[in-house]
Amino acid sequence: MLGKLIVHETKEQILVGKIVETEAYQGSNDEAAHSFKNLRTKRTDIMFKDPGRVYCYQMHTHVLINVVAGPAETPHAILIRAVEPVAGLDQMILNRSHIKNKFNLTNGPGKLTKAMDISMAYYGHHWSQKPLYISKGININAFEIETSPRIGIANSGEAAHYPWRFFLKHNPYVSNYRK
DNA sequence: TTTAAGATGCCC
DNA sequence: GGCATCTTAAAC
């Protein structure tokens, strides 16, 4: 998914962001995943459906978005943690309360949803359909990708150490690492 | 029914 | 390091 484009056709502008950071959550076997042990609730339900749909949820005051992965009944998901603005930068600045630093607009999972005006209304929406879809971007070679443990899951036992965060080396729009 | 924690971000 | 703010899971 790294290098692919998220496109959101809003009524104001077309907003486009290149994916530069993701995290993998492996369904039933991953203690850090919401779907650990196949836990199926109103929130996690969409992960048990067909792949390619939007799994979004609210975390504190923010919305976080995922792409559902794996076949039906296999609740995997990929969290989109950061994008690099490609189009609609001025609208993103407005959406982010006039944040000045362009590197601070979309470098986190809660920041990018606000910049790109992606809300909980997209729960279950398919990522192949307008007005919110993923399109072909650039191909990324393996040597351009760096990995690390995932962020913000320190209380997830062994899973906290799995190197399932993926991001583009030296890209200034990647989020700041923290535990 | 109640409570505590959370795949965060911003301010001090 | 604290706190906003709200959903959800799990304990009572």
Q: Domain holding A63: CATH number?
A: 3.10.300.10
Total-model pTM:
0.96
pLDDT value of position A92: 97
Report yes or no on A99 lying in a domain: yes
Q: Which residues of chain A have pLDDT under 70?
A: none
Question: Closest CA to C9 C1' — which residue?
Answer: A41
Q: Give A59's strand partners.
A: A62
Q: Among all strands, which nt has the closest C1' to A34 (CA)?
A: B7
The pLDDT of residue A176 is 95
Q: Are A68 and A55 in contact (CB under 8 A)?
A: yes
Position A120, amino acid:
M
Give CA–CA dist A31/A4, Å, rounded: 28
**Residue A124 belongs to some domain of the structure:** yes
Size of chain A in residues: 179
User: What pLDDT does A13 receive?
Assistant: 95
Is there contact between A58 and strand C, defined as CB under 7 Å from any strand atom?
A: yes
For residue A173, being part of any structural domain is answered with no
Inside any domain, residue A147? yes
Q: What pLDDT score does A98 carry?
A: 83
On whether residue A105 sits in a domain, the answer given is yes
Residue A174 lies in a domain: no
Residues 101-160/A with CB < 7 A to strand C: none
Q: Is residue A178 part of a domain?
A: no
C-alpha–C-alpha distance, residues A90 and A114, integer Å: 13
Would A175 be classed as within a structural domain? no
Q: Which range of residues forms the domain containing residue A132?
A: 5-168
- A155 CA → B1 C1’, Å: 27
**How many domains are contained in chain A?**
1
Asked whether the CA dihedral A18, A56, A100, A22 is positive or negative, the reply is negative
